Structure 1
Amino acid sequence: MGRGQQTISGDVEMLAGSSPRRDFLRMDKRKLLTVALCVSFLTLVVVSYNMCFETPATSTEAMVFLQEKPFPNSLEEGTNTSSFNSDTNGSDFQVQSNVEGTKNLTDTDNPVTGPTEASAEADALVKDTDASEQEETKEGDSETTTDSSSSISVESSPQVDATVEPPTEIESPNFLTGSPVGNDTSKQNEDDLSDTERSESSVIAMEGPQLTNITSPENPGACDLFEGSWVPDTRPPQYTNSTCKFIQGHQDCMKNGRPDTGYLHWKWQPYKCDLPRIDARAFLSTMRGRSVVFAGDSISRNQFQSLLCILSQAEMPFLKYQSPDDKNVAYVFPSTNFTFTIRWSPYLVHVEEKQVTRSDNETITVPYIHIDELDKSWADYAPGADILQLSTGQWWFKPGLFLQGGQPIGGHTCDGWETECKEIGFSDAYRTAIRNVLQGILSIPGFTGSVVFRSFSPDHFENGRWDNGGECVRTTPGGVAMHYVTKWMLDIQKEAFKNVTGTLNAADKLRIKMLNVTNIAQFRADAHPNVYRTFQPYSKEHQGFVQKDCLHWCLPGSIDTWNDLLVQSLQDVIHR
């Protein structure tokens, strides 16, 4: 007799021997139990809905969140010339497996109490733009005089081989090494995985919806570079702080003393193909006589330095141009006359800094952001660029006044200067600015190149924000859910990109792409400098509070993968 038949038979026997009164009480109890279960279920549904479903109120919550906890100026801006001219004989990068006594980032016995210079540095982080630039300059100057001969002993991750060897040259006729995209040679080929194997291979699961391959929507059967997972990688990094002199001090996690190197040994593995690393020598040969320009904020600079480090392993470029503040820099690789440029433009649109008097008579500097005018900082360089990568994000969280047609339309965080600013938040202005930039770039006279719009880069502050103890101490990928502000920014970018490209002709559609790194980067909470934006943060000189950076990325590190994705998605342009 089956389980269901046994249950029915038992109910019939029990009912047959019951009295009417007992039967009534039993039915009444069942009704009460049913009602209680229904109420509990409805409560669970309502709570889940409020927690998981993104309602229109999200934008309002994001506004409040950003008004209370904007990012500090110094975490958004570039630093001065010392960052690009650091000592090439940096600290030796030595890795010792299973070193006893090596402390993990999560240790709580580090001496971090008492007033020190680090406390003063942290105070400077929340001051105005000029003060933050001075602090970064001093930090960079001090790094150039610091003894850089110290070796770094680290404990290898049990999940990966942490042995790091000197970079080796790989001769290849292609500018990318490994299997070409489209070959189903991946060890993670999802068609061949059982349910158990798929579960084990996807321990680090993508948080949020899977991305679609927007670089080739006309070919749905092609490999999607953006669907995959981070898997252990035994290869050494493509460069180290000893082999690249272009790493800024506050992103040189190796030199600054980060004790773990597990974050260096993961690779992004698409499900149905491989993502090859860039072959620097072959890439430079293919790009002979051409130019690439990056424009954006300090995250754009972060990515720029990553690619510069990768390419410099094949040939050392010479400095063609450097602005006094070091925010606009151009390098040329002599053997191929390939030019690589970074332009500082955190909003991508024209911005004027103006003095505004608050209601308490305090004078503050406010950016007047013209959302319908391209920033000449990069627009004037577009005609000479074969590839132009644009990005903008965190700077829109800052207070500012938005103008369209030269007239104010409102502002973000109008605290104390309401007479000049009507509070409207920044989302509509941000959306309009992106649309205007993407539409305007293709209309710049003389510009015939290709455009890549790089998506929002997430931060990973846990246990607080940047100014109240937030940190990023993870040593393996995953574990941090995407913040609703990150998803909100990504949705705005995707919407604007889709609306613009939907109106373009077939030829112009081929000239503009979106590099969606947000979900891929969301995994890598382990790849930020954290306290290792500062040289030896737990030394006696830095007892007390040390500013943590969970926004920018260690070099070398996971941001190198962004450039592998960039180059792979530009195959048609590079081989044109």
Structure 2
Amino acid sequence: MRQKDNGGHVRQEDGNVNNSPPPTLPNLPSRRTPNFPSDPLQILRPDSSESRRAQLSEPSRGRKGASLAAVAMTKPQQQSPPSTTATTTTSPPPPPSTPPPASSSSSLAKLPLRLHSLASSSRSLLAALRRSPVTTLVAAFFLLALFMYGEDVRTLAELSIDDYLYPDADFYNVSALPPLLLPPPTCDLSRGRWVFDNTSLPAYREKECTFLTKQVSCLANGRPDDLWQYWRWQPNNCSLPTFDARRFMEKMRGKRMMFVGDSLNRNQWESLVCLVQPILSKGRKKIVKRGSFNIFYAKEYRATLEFYWAPFLVESNSDNPNFHHIDQRIISPERIESHAKNWKDVDYLIFNTYIWWMNNEDIKVRRPNSTSWSEHDEMPRIETYGRVFKTWSTWLEQNVDPASTSVFFMTISPLHNSPAQWGNPNGIKCVKETLPVLNYTKPLDLNHDMRMYDLVAKVAKNMKNVPVSLIDITRMSDYRKDAHTSLYSIRQGKLLTPEQKADPQKYADCIHWCLPGVPDVWNQILYTRILSKSSPPSPHPPLPPQ
């Protein structure tokens, strides 16, 4: 049966309008020709034309709006017809209309005259076209191209205007902050304990992050407790720096970060979006969802935080993020290019793949040179996993420049389906769990396939040219039986019904995590690892505002 992915791919945007004036600059900067990336997803129209015109006419745009309008109105204008709302005075009779003071709105009020002039020119052009068949043919091709690619043309024009109206965020003076105390390289961040902390946590409030999907919004979905939000990870032999969104976004200025993998990597991507979005101006941040891409634009920093759906990393019959066959997953272990072409020129790549492998011991594998997914064989899971990582690592070695791109891999995120493993034999999966596993003396046995864990670690260790940094989240997450979405999630895009909640063995989701929650700590470790590395040069062109 075809099932819709539980990710709830619902477009979300920050719908608030920024009514505060932008920073006033003494002079408009000299214009440079932007280097637009070849990826069409990097040139997405930010606003409708109507919205853009409304923004241009806002008085809050101040002198910058007036200057921009003045640039557009350099030619002499005809006087406008008499105004029906003009007031009479005792001064000598005025001309048909008295020009208002120079301002953005008054200049733009003359746009109808410009359009009238343009219409007159168009009539002259049409007359010339009738006299010249060759010119008519050329014009026809031009109009056809404009019809087919008009959206891109308008987008480029709006991007240019956007540069004037919305300057980049001022560079944050990171040196003015207290020194960042990073843990020593020898400290194992994956070994530690969970400490209750209701002073500094949660890192953000669920209701304040409008970008969260329903799948992970547990409080909004009716979860009665909120204790899972107040646990801080404390490594054994060092301290984990607090996530500083401004410091992180300065590191990300003009760069791209992409999470590649399954819905657990999307879970972590949503967490990161919520961690950074409070410092971004309203109207200057948004999410665009298109195909396998979820892209968060931080316009002031010309940076993107992206998620790319590829649950097996290689090609499969489950590559549609919205619809796929859960019980008939088939992969092509040696085919990766249709996904990997989208990973080029990304500054930070964060991969994962595990949970989709755990349905069966054997994996359906498409035969080489086959023309249909129905032509497949079955192979042992670990053997197929090894083939996939050979393909993946080979692509990295051949296509990634380690001087400009950093690669990370997230280890296993656990399932909590067997409560007897943490001493609750009468429990049902993770349902009604409200506390982490505490006072433990040894690792939990949650039936992970540690062969897959070890295989990834070996591949990362043997990379020759492109370092792959493993971020070990497995053991710390093992103890968080309390933090899953459980019965407070969605299934096929809808909240669970009372009948479904009455059958937790079937419907409780003990895979994904409530937000804010455990993935925030994963990102805290990712943040630490990124800031611990020397900043590589970024040869990629600056991203245009989206």
TM-score (norm 2): 0.57
Residues 532 and 370 of structure 1: CA distance in aligned 2, closer, same or farther (over 3 Å): same
The answer to whether the 8 Å contact 2:221/2:489 transfers is yes
Q: Distance in 2 between matches of 1:441 and 1:286?
A: 23
Q: Secondary structure at the match of 1:435?
A: helix
| Cross-structure match for 1:556 | 516
Q: Secondary structure at the match of 2:273?
A: helix
Q: Secondary structure at the match of 2:384?
A: helix
Q: Distance in 2 between matches of 1:286 and 1:251?
A: 27
Residues 526 and 469 of structure 1: CA distance in aligned 2, closer, same or farther (over 3 Å): closer
| Cross-structure match for 2:9 | 80
Matched, 1:347 2:315: no
> Share of identical aligned residues, percent?
25
Residues 463 and 232 of structure 1: CA distance in aligned 2, closer, same or farther (over 3 Å): closer
Residues 175 and 331 of structure 1: CA distance in aligned 2, closer, same or farther (over 3 Å): farther
* Post-superposition offset of 1:562: 0.2
Matched, 1:477 2:441: no
Taking only aligned residues, the RMSD between alpha carbons, in angstroms, comes to 3.8
* Post-superposition offset of 1:342: 0.7
Q: Distance in 2 between matches of 1:334 and 1:496?
A: 35
Q: Secondary structure at the match of 2:335?
A: strand
Stretches of 4+ moved more than 6 A in 1?
A: 174-179, 535-543
* Post-superposition offset of 1:435: 3.2
Residues 460 and 175 of structure 1: CA distance in aligned 2, closer, same or farther (over 3 Å): farther
Matched, 1:571 2:531: yes
Match of 1:428 among 380, 383, 386: 383
Residue-pair matches, total: 356
| Cross-structure match for 2:476 | 520
| Cross-structure match for 1:180 | 181
| Cross-structure match for 1:402 | 365
Q: Distance in 2 between matches of 1:256 and 1:77?
A: 14
1:79-118 matches, within 5 Å, as 79-82=8-11, 84-85=12-13
Q: Distance in 2 between matches of 1:254 and 1:179?
A: 33
Q: Using the TM superposition, name which of 534-543 and 305-314 deviates more.
A: 534-543
The answer to whether the 8 Å contact 2:414/2:511 transfers is yes
1:84-233 matches, within 5 Å, as 84-85=12-13, 173=174, 180-182=181-183, 222-233=186-197
| Cross-structure match for 2:272 | 307
* Post-superposition offset of 1:226: 1.5
Q: Distance in 1 between matches of 2:242 and 2:286?
A: 25
Question: What do the CA deviations read for 1:293-318 (whole angstroms, capped 9, x no partner)?
Answer: 11111111100000000010111553
Residues 459 and 432 of structure 1: CA distance in aligned 2, closer, same or farther (over 3 Å): same
Matched, 1:263 2:264: no
Q: Distance in 2 between matches of 1:175 and 1:523?
A: 38
* Post-superposition offset of 1:228: 1.1
* Post-superposition offset of 1:280: 0.7
Q: Distance in 2 between matches of 1:450 and 1:442?
A: 12
Question: What do the CA deviations read for 1:480-504 (whole angstroms, capped 9, x no partner)?
Answer: 9744531x2x432333332453251
Q: Distance in 1 between matches of 2:376 and 2:490?
A: 38
Q: Secondary structure at the match of 1:436?
A: helix
Q: Distance in 1 between matches of 2:192 and 2:298?
A: 34
Residues 79 and 540 of structure 1: CA distance in aligned 2, closer, same or farther (over 3 Å): closer
Residues 392 and 522 of structure 1: CA distance in aligned 2, closer, same or farther (over 3 Å): same
* Post-superposition offset of 1:270: 0.9
Q: Secondary structure at the match of 2:233?
A: strand
| Cross-structure match for 2:399 | 444
Q: Distance in 1 between matches of 2:389 and 2:214?
A: 31
Residues 423 and 344 of structure 1: CA distance in aligned 2, closer, same or farther (over 3 Å): closer
Residues 353 and 251 of structure 1: CA distance in aligned 2, closer, same or farther (over 3 Å): closer
1:235-254 matches, within 5 Å, as 235-254=200-219
Q: Distance in 2 between matches of 1:87 and 1:421?
A: 47
Q: Secondary structure at the match of 1:461?
A: coil
Residues 349 and 177 of structure 1: CA distance in aligned 2, closer, same or farther (over 3 Å): farther
Question: What do the CA deviations read for 1:144-175 (whole angstroms, capped 9, x no partner)?
Answer: xxxxxxxxxxxxxxxxxxxxxxxxxxx99379
Residues 539 and 352 of structure 1: CA distance in aligned 2, closer, same or farther (over 3 Å): closer
Partner AA of 2:479 in structure 1: F
* Post-superposition offset of 1:449: 0.7
* Post-superposition offset of 1:77: 4.7
Matched, 1:322 2:277: no
Q: Secondary structure at the match of 1:525?
A: coil
The answer to whether the 8 Å contact 2:489/2:496 transfers is no
The answer to whether the 8 Å contact 1:460/1:472 transfers is no
Match of 1:391 among 322, 343, 352: 352
Residues 542 and 254 of structure 1: CA distance in aligned 2, closer, same or farther (over 3 Å): same
TM-score (norm 1): 0.55
Match of 1:368 among 311, 315, 330: 330
Q: Distance in 2 between matches of 1:175 and 1:404?
A: 59
Q: Distance in 2 between matches of 1:528 and 1:353?
A: 24
Residues 172 and 237 of structure 1: CA distance in aligned 2, closer, same or farther (over 3 Å): farther
* Post-superposition offset of 1:540: 6.8
Residues 73 and 230 of structure 1: CA distance in aligned 2, closer, same or farther (over 3 Å): farther
Q: Distance in 2 between matches of 1:541 and 1:491?
A: 38
Q: Distance in 2 between matches of 1:469 and 1:501?
A: 39
Partner AA of 2:437 in structure 1: G
Q: Secondary structure at the match of 2:276?
A: helix
Q: Secondary structure at the match of 2:447?
A: helix
Question: What do the CA deviations read for 1:100-142 (whole angstroms, capped 9, x no partner)?
Answer: xxxxxxxxxxxxxxxxxxxxxxxxxxxxxxxxxxxxxxxxxxx
